[in-house]
Structure 1
Amino acid sequence: MAILSSRDRDAAAYPLQSLFVPFPFVCFTLALATDIAFWQSGNLMWQNFSAWLLFAGLVFGGFAILAGLMDLLRPRTRPLRPPVLSALLYLIILALAFANSLVHAGDGWTAVVPYGLMLSAATFLFCLGAAAVSAHKYARLAWRI
């Protein structure tokens, strides 16, 4: 039988949202890559890939929001919660990706070039910003330990 010390009991719980947040970032980054491939080649396969990647990113983004709401109810996840700016950036990312998904629902060249490509690039830049803001908080927590 293991006896838990007070240090073990007071440790922060792993936030559930951390399981789902990386998936939209990867999907939206790959959607930008497939949009660029479509822009360069004109092959409709890349447009379909982009549409599916945007859909998968939005689904996992919805799961991340639900997990984040569950984490708000868990007091032990407080030290590892993302800052408010990071959460706001996540919502902006999902809104941009949703708009991008609506643009990609069109047919042919105009479904991607120029507005779909610009929305994919904006989504990617916001993903980089959210990752930088989140990494800054986790770096501060790592030095505190």
Structure 2
Amino acid sequence: MVVLSASDPLRPVHPLHAILLAFPLPLFLGALVSDLAYRATFHAQWANFSAWLITGGLLVGAFAVLWALINLFRSHSGHRKRPAVYFIVLLVMWVLSFINALVHAKDAWATMPEGLYLSATTVLLALVAAWIGYAGFRTGEVE
């Protein structure tokens, strides 16, 4: 039998929020891989791929940030630390990816090395956000 504490602030992530949260990490990771491919080959199409992947991550990530903001206000006043950290990580991820999109809007040659560094940072933040978001399940003791 699983015993759950009523005071445990962790809740399962909503299925629609889980879908929204699932997109930024692979899209930003694809942009990082495209940036690495561009750095190795200097084919401008890789920079275009990165720009499109970043745009997709921005679009879906904006809805994930909005959902996290709503969850922040819906959380109980005593249990706002985790939702606040989650929201801040998602917001910083989104802002850096927006800056990354602006960097990738330049000429392909001008995107390096800033675009590569921003892509790597965005991937790390997306990984942390996904980790925090999906770790929202209650823990219980098995008896």
TM range (shorter): 0.7 to 0.9
Structural mapping, 1:123-142, within 5 Å: 123-135=122-134, 137-138=135-136, 141-142=138-139
Aligned residues: 126
Gap change, CA 1:144 and 1:32, over 3 Å in 2: farther
In the TM superposition, what whole-angstrom CA distance separates every residue of 1:22-70 from its partner, at most 9, and x where no partner exists? Answer: 1111111111010001100111111000000011111111222344455
The reply to whether residue 61 of structure 1 matches residue 58 of structure 2 is: no
Offset, 1:138: 3.0
Q: Give distance in 1, aligned partners of 2:114 and 2:33.
A: 15
Identity across aligned pairs (percent)? 37
Distance between the aligned counterparts of 1:133 and 1:68, measured in 2?
11
Paired amino acid for 1:88: I
Looking at structure 1, the residues matched to 89 and 72 of structure 2 have their Cα atoms a distance apart, in angstroms, of 17
- 5+ unaligned residues in a row in structure 2: which ranges? 1-10
Higher RCO (C-alpha 8 Å, min separation 6): 2
Greater Cα radius of gyration, structure 1 or 2: 1
- CA distances 1:44-102 after superposition (whole Å, capped 9, x unpaired): 11100000001111111122234445556778xxx9xx632122101110011000000
Q: What residue ranges of structure 1 are gaps of 5+ in the alignment?
A: 1-11
Q: CA deviation at 1:131?
A: 3.0
Alpha-carbon spacing, 1:130–1:69, altered in 2? closer, same or farther (3 Å) = closer
**For the Cα contact (< 8 Å) 2:23–2:60, is it kept in 1?**
yes
**Superposition RMSD in Å:** 2.6
Distance in 2, matches of 1:95 and 1:24, equals 13
Structure-1-length-normalised TM-score? 0.73
TM-score normalised to the size of structure 2? 0.74
